[in-house]
A and B are shown apart, each in its own frame.
Chain A
Amino acid sequence: MLNYIIKRAVLTVVVLFIVSFITFSLIHILPGDPAAAMLGDQATMEEIEALRHELWLDRPFFVQYGHWLSNALQGDFGKSIMYRVPVSEIIAERLPVTLYLSFLSLILSTFIGIGAGIICAIRRGSLIDQIVSVVANAGVAVPIFWLGLLGIYVFGFTLEWLPLQGWTSPFDDFLKSSKQALMPVICLSVTGSSIITRQTRSSLLEVIRQDYIRTAWAKGMGEPRVVFKHALKNALIPVVTLVGLQLRVLVGGAVLTETVFNIPGMGRLLVDGALAKDFLIVQAGVLLIAVMVSLANLITDISHGWLDPRIRYD
């Protein structure tokens, strides 16, 4: 197991190194001069030259990459063109917002997904199973930004139950913050909970067909004991893996949800950076998200091996 952890950690470092190269190369696939594109049409030649010099764009490609990577490892991603402050400062401000929403969404989607999956599996073929299955299918298909707009229209505008959009830190005003976060969190959870529901259902159905469960029934155990004590333990192993992989889905979803609800998180920052051609923000954001996703994948892989003793790694 220790060997596996070391091997997996080394691979993660290699992957992150490639991610950093891809991220850095992004602005070099830009047709023309990246400095001119970032500064826009109004920029003078002097300003473009100054930015080229500041970003080391006047040096050879691999020298630029080495400089950028060594700075990035120290948390220095340069100065944002749009905000005129260091990118790391903006990220430090925005990242907690996205992490907070993602964390709440992860809890909600796991809770709903596992609960609905169990109900569907133990009541297979019933009306509730069919309804939940259709809803879960629709949950994967629905554009979350559209769902957000629908929520704003119904619960914010028509029923006036929730605020239309905006963001307040939970440390400033917890009640207001919770009200504002409710719709974005629900929107972010929809895809995740639908995927977890489907996985829990199919994995529990597979476990329920196994001999040791039949034996448990034959011994006269009640349904709750068979399902929760014996079947669920094994059925949840693939679900735990899936939950660990949700970060990728959640951060992707945050890009759209934060735009709809006007939340100043990482997703919104990336969109604003992309629209304003502030590629330093885009580079830093993509790299940071990839680091978080890779670490989450690493933890998931390791926990998978720990949860399922049948899994042995060479």
Chain B
Amino acid sequence: MSMDSSGMIRAKSPRISELRRLIKVMCNRVVVVVGIGIIAFFILVAIFAPMLAAHDPLYTYLESILNPPSGIHPLGTDQVGRDVLSRLIYGTRISFLVGIFGVTIAGTLGMGLGLVAGYFGGWVNAIIMRCIDALLAIPPIVLMMAISAILGGGLFNVLIAIGFGMMPTYCRLMCAQVTVLKENDYILVLQTAGASSWRIMRHLFINAFPPLLVLITTNLGTAILMEAGLSFLGIGILPPTPSWGAMIYDGRRLLFSNPILSLAPGGAIMLIVLAFNIVGDGLRDALDPKLRGTL
């Protein structure tokens, strides 16, 4: 508090904005910083893949099939003579593509339906939420597998499968948030002022979004894990596209003679998913009002 020249007591505006507070809280925790560092590393690998990969990930060196690690091929070559490290590097792009677009589809559909269900309530809510309950009764990988098997493999169909598989959680969370938020005074003020449903829903969405940010962060890793699972089952990304899951699928037949073919992409998946989970946990703690001031 401070007193101005006219003698009025004025409250000082908060020196640290909410975003800065979030960044500060997250950066105070070493494990979260490491997580952010790992994600940043993989993002850089994905962006600069053509510069980092020494070989074309699709080019088959017929004279060097199943070569062990060497100076030319640091992780060796696969069963058709492709450079494993280059495929691993380019696989980062596929993983991020699946993560970002899978979550975008799931988030857009789920949050949109959740917003409508939560705002309108009544029978609109009942119909939407019972359908979501029905989708939640099917394990995500089973649902994604069924959709992917019917639509066929390939990046686009995998994205649709992942989007639908992860959508119910977004819908449920958004609906719960909106149901609570719509009782707030500022929404009643908007309604009294004659604001359109569209405008009110926009305000509700903005206020309901922060907790969903945690889900989005952790789901980026989950989408990568799901794509890897589908590709491992042979109904995900189609060959010869360098996907980490498909690399494990191809390499498992040579597990005993050439374990690096499956173990290297699996390690990469685990690392990136772990990083997203750690950052998601950090974000959850930073946004948790109960922990405010303790972190």
> What is A's interface to B at a CB cutoff of 8 Å?
11, 14-16, 18-19, 22, 26-27, 29-31, 137-138, 140-143, 145-147, 149-150, 152-153, 157, 248-249, 251-253, 255-256, 259-260, 270-271, 273-275, 277, 279, 282, 285-286, 289-290, 293-294, 297
Contacts and interface: CB of A to CB of B under 8 A. Distances in A.
Contact of A26 (B134, B137, B146): B146
A149 B248 contact: yes
B71 interface: no
Interface string B268-286: 0110011001100100000
A87 to B, nearest CB: 15
B255 A152 contact: yes
Contacts of B235: 274-275
Contacts of A30: 150-151
B179 to A, nearest CB: 15
SS of B interface (majority): helix
A155 to B, nearest CB: 13
A289 B266 contact: no
B176 to A, nearest CB: 16
B166 to A, nearest CB: 13
A285 to B, nearest CB: 8
B149 A275 contact: yes
A6 to B, nearest CB: 17
Contact of B146 (A11, A31, A286): A286
A143 B265 CA distance: 10
B74 to A, nearest CB: 21
Interface in B78-101: none
Sort chain B's interface into a size bin.
Answer: 35 or more
A29 B232 contact: no
Contacts of B146: 26, 270, 274, 282, 286
B134 A15 contact: yes
A183 B64 CA distance: 35
Interface in B159-207: none
B151 to A, nearest CB: 7
A29 B142 contact: no
Given A255-B141, A293-B139, A145 B150 contact: no
Interface stretch (B1-9, B21-29, B114-122, B256-264): B256-264
Given A274-B149, A286-B142, A137 B278 contact: yes
Interface in B183-237: 221, 225, 228-229, 232-235
Nearest to A31: B151
A176 B228 CA distance: 31
Contact of A19 (B138, B141, B262, B274): B138
Per CB-CB distance, the 7 closest pairs between chain A and chain B, nearest first, are A146-B266, A252-B139, A274-B149, A18-B134, A141-B274, A141-B273, A290-B137
SS of A interface (majority): helix
B186 to A, nearest CB: 28
A45 to B, nearest CB: 23
B44 interface: no
B133 interface: yes
B277 A140 contact: yes
A150 B266 contact: yes
Contacts of A138: 270, 274
Contacts of B133: 11, 15, 18
Given A15-B130, A146-B248, A294-B137, A252 B142 contact: yes
Residue among B137, B252, B277 with the highest chain A CB neighbour number at 10 A: B137
B135 interface: yes
A256 to B, nearest CB: 6
Nearest to A146: B266
A27 B146 CA distance: 9
Given A15-B133, A142-B270, A270-B145, A293 B256 contact: no
Nearest to B274: A141
B269 A143 contact: yes
A26 B130 CA distance: 18
B135 A141 contact: no
A137 B274 contact: yes
Contact of B270 (A141, A248, A294): A141
A156 to B, nearest CB: 9
B58 to A, nearest CB: 23
Contact of A146 (B256, B269, B277): B269
A279 to B, nearest CB: 7
8 contacts: A15-B133, A30-B151, A137-B278, A143-B228, A146-B228, A252-B141, A255-B233, A270-B145
Nearest to B276: A141
Contacts of B139: 248-249, 251-252, 255, 289, 293
Given A143-B225, A255-B233, A149 B266 contact: yes
B124 interface: no
A256 B146 CA distance: 14
